[in-house]
Structure 1
């Protein structure tokens, strides 16, 4: 099994918190689609013998692509790779892009899952983070998606958006539940250095939500969503039964995936590769028939740490016997004192066969993983 990720590096405007690679200049959008098509063709051998079970249009804002542009890329994937008959085709979208008959046309192309960036239903906070849509447009979009026949719809929400209070987050959770979506992703607002919010923070112009309030909002979301039938299957993700994100799960399950487009990453178990995060350089490389990527071999220790980082983000955690067989290491004896400390603090659970984080541990997932990493 394998997945394909396509990075579409364009946005209408820059959200104040975002540090992903994108450009608000869409004048070369058509050229970019042609270049991504070339990259897909040039890299077909990387998935030779593998069946593609998921295709994910991310970004950036993939919903800025026209229906013909989406069709061009989907046709290329189907003719170049072996694609499963029941593959998951996800498209990330902003609410204000899914208007008119675009939803029906995308569904006709084979897009069968939408990941919609709602972020919040609070109009003042939407303006604060510089989103292009309104709460009313978010509502219209979600209803239109379901009316168009999409039965697998995910929504993104962001908690810890200033100012510090619980009320907006409570309202957002209550509102999202009214749509009975198959999947919900939650992300705490983080202040990244090379963003508008990062610059404001440096100047003392941004007052972040207090850590304890952020933790309370995250816990409220866990309690609310699991109480309404959602499985908290990964740190940031909740799903109805059978509706886990197949593509994102491939990242956490150590499966091969191919990333195309500027800034995209790929993984085959032994190496990681990443494309140049620069639109012009990317286009110039592909126009010459060259791949604009850097390959990074993973040492045995790198592979262990990749495994720990990804698997500890999931509800399943680490299967200790599989870990021992694969890496010839005993995870428990290697980390006994650290594990005992985490057990006392109720950050982890260990039943002898599996080692996983609790919901309290999920709040510190990155820190816990880092402390359990193996040294070279």
Structure 2
């Protein structure tokens, strides 16, 4: 099994927290799509895995017209082996979702939609630079359900410096009332190079306290349990049977091929990425656009460790013994203190986080990393 990822780098406006590659130069959309078709064709000989998922991320994929998606799907189907039951996801902004557009998406073959809500509070949306309002956020989810989507995801952000735990609780209360099957909830991080990071450095924003962060995380877990969701990855929750197949492929080391500026690919021990430069991308010289590296044994170990401990299943220790005999003893020795401190559990030949320790899993992972 494998997946395709399409990075659509266009946005009407820039959100202050986002560090994904994007541009507001929508006049380049047609040229971008033409180059995207060329890239899809260029790599067809390199990637012959059966495709179980396609994911359109961004940026704002919902800025792409239905007719352009139709042509792109035709190109994909002629160049790659797309399984009949493949999960096909589009990320969408609430204010892009009309009944007509949702009908078009369903007819094209999209069977999963991820709606960038972020918050149901107007001030939050304004501070973040979102272009939809609080009512549009709620209406978009309900409209997607009414038009026939039965696999709907939404995003929320918590840990907002101007907001409060009470407001985040209200967001969660609204979430439990909506017909969604998947929730991605991220604690705000001040990524270097973003407007929010600059505001943090100026002292205009301050990071929320660790106590507030932890309280909001526990609220998140409580409300998702109330809705019957499973917490299957650090930031992801879903109804049983509705895990994101595409994102799960990342965490499980399944090959994927990425298209568009800033997109990444992974197969075998090869990691490939396109430079985050639309002007360069539009030239279509893939020897200049694309860079790649071969993962060392330590790199592959660290990546497997990081991805595994972020999931509810954790690390398969049998696999770690087989793939990384050089580092296995070190892993078990280093993890022993986390096990004795009840942050990790070693059970049935698996190593995984306890629910409480997931909030600090990045520190655990960093402690377990190895070097050559």
Give the TM-score normalised by structure 2.
Answer: 0.97
What secondary structure, in the 3-state scheme, does the structure 2 residue paired with 1:84 have? strand
1:317-328 equivalent positions in 2, closer than 5 A? 317-328=314-325
| Aligned match of 2:313 | 316
Change (3 A) 1:208 1:289: closer
| Aligned match of 2:368 | 372
Cα contact 1:98–1:141 (8 A) shared by 2? yes
Cα shift at 1:290: 5.0
| Aligned match of 1:140 | 139
CA distance in 2, matches of 1:360, 1:174: 22
1:37 matched to 2:37: yes
Cα contact 1:52–1:83 (8 A) shared by 2? yes
Change (3 A) 1:289 1:258: closer
What secondary structure, in the 3-state scheme, does the structure 1 residue paired with 2:27 have? coil
Deviations 1:245-269 (A, max 9, x none): 0000000011100011000000002
| Aligned match of 1:88 | 87
RMSD of Structure 2 on Structure 1 (CA): 1.4
| Aligned match of 1:191 | 190
Cα contact 2:327–2:370 (8 A) shared by 1? no
Of 353, 357, 362, which residue of structure 2 is paired with 1:357? Answer: 353
Change (3 A) 1:364 1:269: farther
CA distance in 1, matches of 2:37, 2:287: 13
Cα shift at 1:289: 6.5
In structure 1, runs of 5+ residues without a counterpart are none
Deviations 1:179-216 (A, max 9, x none): 13111100001111211111111111112221221121
CA distance in 2, matches of 1:86, 1:25: 35
CA distance in 1, matches of 2:286, 2:172: 48
| Aligned match of 2:71 | 72
CA distance in 1, matches of 2:288, 2:193: 27
| Aligned match of 2:170 | 171
Cα shift at 1:144: 0.7
| Aligned match of 1:208 | 207
Cα contact 1:164–1:209 (8 A) shared by 2? no
Cα shift at 1:337: 4.5
Change (3 A) 1:33 1:13: same
1:239 matched to 2:238: yes
CA distance in 2, matches of 1:133, 1:227: 28
| Aligned match of 1:7 | 7
CA distance in 1, matches of 2:34, 2:185: 33
Cα shift at 1:336: 4.0
Corresponding residue pairs, total: 372
What secondary structure, in the 3-state scheme, does the structure 2 residue paired with 1:255 have? coil
CA distance in 2, matches of 1:100, 1:180: 16
What secondary structure, in the 3-state scheme, does the structure 2 residue paired with 1:126 have? helix
Cα shift at 1:59: 0.6
What secondary structure, in the 3-state scheme, does the structure 1 residue paired with 2:17 have? coil
What secondary structure, in the 3-state scheme, does the structure 1 residue paired with 2:153 have? strand
Cα contact 1:58–1:91 (8 A) shared by 2? yes
| Aligned match of 1:260 | 259
Change (3 A) 1:129 1:316: same
1:342 matched to 2:342: no
Cα contact 1:2–1:47 (8 A) shared by 2? no
CA distance in 1, matches of 2:355, 2:226: 14
CA distance in 2, matches of 1:335, 1:321: 12
Which runs of at least 4 in structure 1 moved beyond 4 Å after TM superposition?
Answer: 288-291
Cα contact 1:11–1:22 (8 A) shared by 2? yes
Cα shift at 1:222: 0.9
Deviations 1:220-266 (A, max 9, x none): 10122123210100000001111100000000011100011000000
Cα contact 1:94–1:117 (8 A) shared by 2? yes
Deviations 1:87-117 (A, max 9, x none): 0000000000112400001110001100000
CA distance in 1, matches of 2:106, 2:340: 50
| Aligned match of 2:23 | 23
Deviations 1:143-198 (A, max 9, x none): 11001100000000001112252111111111011113111100001111211111
Give the TM-score normalised by structure 1.
Answer: 0.96
CA distance in 2, matches of 1:170, 1:80: 47
